[in-house]
Amino acid sequence: MRVRRTALAAFVLLGSLGLGVVAEAFGGEAVQDVILPRDGQVDPRLVVVVFDGRADGGTGSEVSYLRATYYQDIAQIAARGGAAAVGFVDFDSLTFSDGAGGRANVVRSPELQQLGIIPIQGAARRPAHDERLDFLVSYRIDALATELAGIGVGAVGDAAEVRMAPSGARVVSVEDGVIVETPPFAEETVDRRSEIFVPGLSFRLVEHAFGATISDPGLDSIRLGAREVPLEDGAVRIAWSDELDDGDDLRLVPFFDLLAGEVPAEVFDGALVLVGTVDPSKTRFVDTPAGRLPPVLVEANAVNTLLTERWTRPGTPAAPWIVAVACVVAMIAFTRSRRLRPVAPLLGVVGAVGWWFAASALAADGTLVVVLGPVVTMMSAAVLLVASLQVDALTERRRLRSLFSQYVPASIADQLVASGRGRLASAGERVAITALFCDLRGFTPLAARLEPSQVRELLNAYYEEMARVIFDSEGTVLQYIGDEIYAVFGAPLPSMDHAARALTCARRLFERREALNERLAEQGLPPLNFGIGLHSGDAIAAHVGSSVRMQYAVIGDTVNVASRHRSLAGPGEIVLSSTTAALAGPLPDAVEEDASIRGLDGERRIFRIVCGPSSSSGTVDPLADDGTTDDG
């Protein structure tokens, strides 16, 4: 039992924990972002100008966002309106329809040279060896990325799902030089920046727009002016807004509306401007917790996170798992108590739901903790516990049924298991019973005259016929002892009329004797005769034995007295105690007498009933009586 319980506990604990780890590995980040609340909070200083797919009226089918002059127009309008910085997303000069000349005009625009700078595009990263930030092992310096150009370009990577905005990187080398008409001062900038920290696009925009100097970069935090921004492995987790998750959002400014003069100039006063396309046919959308978004809206959400200071701090990773394991251990502990066992799976469900709400509350407060793994661990523990308990209960029911079927009819065994008394009967209980001992008379000298095989056949026939009668009377056959049958009534299934059933069974045994002897005669075996002793009272019933062999036993003085009555019964007789007689009802055919019973003081009143011939076993003539009273 202890081994089975240990195996059950290990199965539930390790199984649920394993499922939780797998769930966290494959879906933990997604669930964390789901419970992280999204809202419409967008900083008013953020302006997003987008190309929405409408064609230029002058060219008809020309792809609008690939015209560098459009970018120049936007930069000029933003600068004249008082913008603090402009950042271009989806801007690659090599593919612009009006070529490098048009792009150079953008770079040399006096308006743009008054704004801040975002220096890099197309960076390849590798892990940092000093456990700080990633290194940029190679990158291109765009002509826009100059100190004087005052504008920058950004590119969202091809990661499976964008959740984080890099705070920056450290440059270790520059490959392929500078692309397209880079003035000498830009090359000097490249050389100087190859040894320093390079902020990410969103950080650089905020830095130059509002004079918030970036300092103290690290894996866990970075300073942006007077603010300390919490990071996760050198990146800030983006707080997604539901007003920056669609190309039709009201917070976005369409380029052609801007060009047509439908947008007030004061919109750009002190603004941080991002420019890009929201046309899915013109850019590669990326997966985010807010859905598939164009890169410009990913960058817009990252910038908005910095402006609104909606930081998300990673919580202690071990705490949720400690809670989950503690919950599972408590569930397993509850199963040790039969009374608390039904509550154990409910504890797992309550724990999982509780942790989900706790994690949601923490997320709303800016602390992001492990969610899916612990929740799956607790929920799967509840499922595994229910399943294992059901299997264990089914196994126990089968074991008890198989065990009791050796002693009682199958119907009684089924009743024991179905009523739940099987475990109690197996564990031990005090019961009111009537014990019955049926012993062959004259069998010892008879067995001496027979071959061993004949003795075996004779006993097998005797046991089979008598046990069938006992089973039909709802009795329990406990033992075959030599030529004696030991049975009880009232255990393991309680019975109010156990004495009456035992006496009726004893009479039926003698009625069955004739059929038994006919069967033996057909096999060339001698007839049998027996005597029966009965006594009623309390006894202890339980499964007892060793690890090698267990058996159901009923023990106590009641059993001992019944055995003594058996020794008083001659062939064809039933001897029962006054207790059994009183419980069984009127006995008109019984003869009362006083008898001395071995092991008991004084004489006791007994009742003797004659139900068969007085001949011993082996006597062919049923009227003959060899006077043998051998009790086997």
Q: What is the pLDDT of residues 411-442, one digit of tens each?
A: 666 665 665 555 555 567 788 999 999 999 99
Strand partners, 223: 215, 228
**What are the structure tokens assigned to 7, written together?**
């195996």
Distance CA 52, CA 355 (A): 43
Distance CA 313, CA 316 (A): 10
Distance CA 532, CA 609 (A): 10
Distance CA 400, CA 492 (A): 11
For the chain, which residues score pLDDT lower than 50?
A: 57-63, 93-95, 116-125, 137-152, 174-188, 190-194, 621-632
Task: Name the residue among 508, 510, 506, 499 with its Cα closest to residue 581.
Answer: 499
The phi and psi torsions of 241 (rounded to 5 degrees) equal -110, 140
CB 332 within 8 A of CB 392: no
Rounded to a whole number, what is the distance in angstroms from the first to the last CA of the chain? 40
Provide the CB-side half-sphere exposure for 337 (13 A, CA).
9
The pLDDT of residue 443 is 93
The phi and psi torsions of 610 (rounded to 5 degrees) equal -95, 120
- CATH class of residue range 408-610: alpha beta
DSSP secondary-structure letter at 55? P
Task: Name the residue among 416, 325, 340 with its Cα closest to residue 370.
Answer: 325
Strand partners, 140: 121
The residue type at 346? L
Question: How many C-beta atoms surround the C-beta of residue 10 within 10 A?
Answer: 11
The pLDDT of residue 178 is 36
CB 606 within 8 A of CB 575: yes
Percent pLDDT > 90 in the chain is 28
Distance CA 612, CA 619 (A): 13
> DSSP string of 258-325?
HHTT-S-GGGGTT-EEEEEE--TTTS--EEETTEEE-HHHHHHHHHHHHHHT---EE--SHHHHHHHH
**What are the structure tokens assigned to 484, written together?**
């004696």
**What are the structure tokens assigned to 351, written together?**
């724990």
Task: Name the residue among 47, 598, 42, 28 with its Cα closest to residue 268.
Answer: 47
| Domain map (residue ranges) of the chain | 2-28+315-399, 37-311, 408-610
CB 537 within 8 A of CB 565: no
Q: Give the distance, in angstroms, between the CA of residue 463 and the centroid of all CA atoms in the same chain.
A: 52
Question: Mapping DSSP to helix (H, G, I), strand (E, B) and coil, where does residue 606 land?
Answer: strand
Element (H, E) at 203: helix 201-210
Element (H, E) at 583: helix 578-584
